[in-house]
Structure 1
Amino acid sequence: MAPAACPAHEMKRRLVLRLGLAQLINWGVSFYIPGAFAAAIIQDTRWQAGLVHAGLSLALLVMGLVSPLSGGWIERWGGRRVMCAGSLLNAAGCLLLAGSGTACQYLAAWLVLGVGMRLSLYDAAFATLAALLGPDGRKAMVQVTLFGGLSTSLFWPLGGWLADTFGWRAGLTCFAVSALLGWALLLGLPGQPPAQAKQPTAIAAMPLPRVPARLYGLAMALTAFLASGLSAHMTSLLASHGLPTALAALWGVGQVGARLADCLQRRSLPALHLNLWVGVALPACFALGLVGLGSAPLAGLFVLAYGALNGLATLLRASLPLELFATEGYAQALGRLLAPAFLLAAVAPWVYALVRSQAGDMAMLWLSLAIALGVLSSAVALHRLRRAGP
């Protein structure tokens, strides 16, 4: 039965299932490729580890450059077409990686993946849900992220097994086939929502309220910088203090757990209030990290807490614009305001590595605490601004 003919709740359930499974696949076959295949690629090609890992940073830079355009594409052609194109680009990028024989070919494949990632991952999915469901799409966004949060649990071990059994090139070819499965899932999404179908003219770029837009963009850029920098160094940070590296797995547990808790609430906390709570908790979390690296239980609590806060930050990335801006301008707002977040995420691992090599692990955590205070300042400013008036 066509989605339009289904009852509203049934259409929403199918929409979440298709988008969620597509997110599970597209994250695994793009962003998480280095975690699955980097070691095998380095061993086989003898390329420098920095070069192999630079591919993802290059893709993040491309995502930042493409981001201001992506919102307009979604509003002009619809989320289904744009996300399908992203999945096909992910498949092409995996095939190009599998066939790369030189460093230039390898990095060129990541350029393709960068465009595919921007058109197929969370932010495109959030814009699609906002267009289809309007302000009621927050719960569906949370549910979709639960699928995406499981991607490492599936694709890292799968990629490792494929690399060990058949080689990394064959493994990436299998990932390309998986991306085509994501494309097939996205083909079943509804087309334009009825309200837009009656207005075939393209939506003009929506002017955004300047101060809320800047505060939102700043908060998302800072949280993206934190997540990217810490994810690149968390395992080695634990190991350098004699702690079990298995504690790093608590990051994913906290992330999925926080999203699940939000999803199970009968009435969700308004995004602006949740943003304030996350802003307050982030500095406390890094203060715990500064004093807790000498103890496995405290270090585990730090990793778990930061994972939970990072999971909530991903939800805020999607839900805050629903309260700050008009729904009709959602896709373009995300496209323009998240561009700095992708650019900062690309350079964060290098900045953290520089700080760590020059001043040590504690300096890296002090830097994180300073950035967390910046997130808190933006959250307080946004909350006060909205209390002062519309």
Structure 2
Amino acid sequence: MATTESDLGQLPASGTWRTPLLVIVCGCAIALLSFGPRSGLGFFIQPMSRDFAWGRDIFGLALALQNLLWGLGQPIAGAIADRFGVLRVICVGAVLYAAGLLLMSHATTPLSLDLGAGVLIGFGLSGCSFNLVLSAFSKLLPPERRSVALGAGTAAGSFGQFLFAPFGVALIDNFGWQTALMVFAALMLLILPLSLALSTPPTAKAATTDVPVADPQSFRTALAEAFGHRSYVLLVLGFFTCGFQLAFITVHLPAYLSDRGIPASSGGWVIAAIGLFNIIGSLGVGWLQNVFPKRYILSVIYFTRALSIVAFISFPVTTFSAIAFGAISGLTWLSTVPPTSALIALMFGTRWFATLYGFSFVSHQVGGFLGVWLGGIVFEKFGSYTPIWWLSVFFGVLSALINLPIVEAPVRRAVAQPA
């Protein structure tokens, strides 16, 4: 039986120690570690602002830069991973991430905060976040395990949020925000040994095997094909909303709750609730996308988010309502990622998956940049987050409609004719 190009990434790169289970476990551990600290950075706004007399727009700009550079760096990291393998990209990303957290712990000016929390962590995330983990899963795991693994990888990132939010609050309360950031930085270095299990073969190596590959697709051709495909463009546009909503809530929700008299410890459990219930949402969607059309799942997710925001801001905020909002948000938090990534793999195959998912993630992170940045600016100008909450509702309804026309089928390509 002939082996197709998309199967090449599933060939073992070395030995047999990297079983599918080990690949999934190590990938989930990396997703947990990389997603945990950045989901808790919103709790550093108030202690750092008090120490340096900064407005929320200062901190908001730094984390907005982080989201933007994470997005802009993602297709570059994805292209390098597709060309040279995932291992070295994840290792470099982990080192940059740790360096950014360390610099942030010593930041005393807005510029040093922008460099640490914004530039270094942003580019670090582009190299070692769950996006690269999902790419490795798509290349290393057989198709029958891929959907569940994509859901598990996304859920592991959420579990990192569940663990690191209350953990970060406890560190800040007991040891100070500088120590908390240094502990986070040390934990990021654990990604280095875990990444060995996700090593994928370089494209050049795969192409030189004795397995014939017909008409290999170039990087430029892959991009032209994707951005000329209507369904991919709609998917990318809808992903913008996901980034806008998630980044705004992650960064500004702790301060929003504090403004309404909710203590920081309770705010930590709200963010933790998002992470905990996202495990259920991500795993559930990983299974549901094998039963229902993925475009309908995405549409329901975005519409549910919009409704939950309307309910949350329309009634007085209490600890119970905040945790309930966290639980509902968690069910729809990163559950957009498994169907989005699965649709890209379905439409275009896995050869340039990291690259094409990376470009869709740019849209996600541009939305994240605007959500965080505008949140800080609007609060400093009006003393309220209300305009941003309603903008999130509008984007949610719009994305629910945008995803409906997506066609779930492999792209049609010309087949080379024999001479």
The aligned residue for residue 403 of structure 2 is 379
Distance 2:93 2:298 in 1: 30
Q: Which runs of 5+ in 1 are unaligned?
A: none
Structure 2: distance between partners of 1:109 and 1:130: 31
- Stretches of structure 2 that go unaligned for 5 or more consecutive residues are 1-11, 210-215, 413-419
Aligned match of 1:144 in 153, 165, 174? 153
Please list the CA deviations of residues 194-237 of structure 1 after superposition, one character each: whole Å capped at 9, or x if unmatched. Answer: x9743149962112142112101101012211222234444555
Q: Please, which of 239, 242, 248 is the counterpart of residue 223 of structure 1?
A: 242
1:248 corresponds, among 256, 264, 270, to 270
Which moved further from structure 2: 333-342 or 255-264?
255-264
Identity %: 20
Distance 1:369 1:282 in 2: 8
SS of the aligned residue for 1:222 comes to helix
| Counterpart in the other structure of 1:187 | 196
In structure 2, the partner of 1:78 is 85
Higher-helix-fraction structure: 1
* Structure-1 residue corresponding to 2:31: 23
Q: RMSD of the TM alignment (CA)?
A: 3.6
How far 1:59 moved relative to its partner? Answer: 1.3
Partner amino acid, structure 2, of 1:41: M
Aligned match of 1:210: 229
Deviation string for 1:325-344 (max 9, x for gaps)?
22212111112222122122
**Cα offset for 1:386?**
4.3
Structure 1 pair 334–263 and aligned structure 2 pair: CA distance change class (3 A): closer
Partners of 2:275 and 2:44 lie apart in 1 by: 20
C-alpha distance in 2 between matches for 1:358 and 1:168 = 28
Residue pair 1:289, 1:365 contacting (<8 A) in 2 also: no
1:112 counterpart residue number: 120
Q: How many residues align?
A: 383
Q: 1:352 to 1:50 in 2, by over 3 A?
A: closer
2:100 to 87, 93, 97: 93
Specify the SS of the correspondent of 2:198: coil
Task: Write the deviation string for residues 239-293 of structure 1: whole angstroms up to 9, x where unpaired.
Answer: 7778896683543343222123345679554423422433454444455446555
Q: How far, CA to CA, are the matches of 1:63 and 1:171 in structure 2?
A: 22
Paired position in structure 2 for 1:177? 186
Q: Structure 1 length normalisation: TM-score?
A: 0.82
Shift of 1:117: 0.7
Closer/same/farther in 2, CA of residues 370 and 346 from structure 1, 3 Å limit: same
Q: Deviation at 1:28?
A: 2.6
Structure-2 change in CA distance of 1:153 and 1:373 (3 Å): closer
Q: Taking structure 1 as reference, are residues 109 and 284 closer, same or farther at Cα in structure 2, changes over 3 Å only?
A: closer
Question: Measured at CA, do residues 58 and 314 of structure 1 come closer, stay the same or move farther in structure 2, by a change above 3 Å?
Answer: same
Structure 2 counterpart of 1:325? 348
Match of 2:331 among 286, 303, 308: 308
**Is 2:165 the partner of 1:156?**
yes
Confirm or deny: 8 A CA contact 1:4 1:11 kept in the other structure. no
**1:271 is matched with which residue?**
294
Contact 1:34 1:53 in 2 (8 A): no
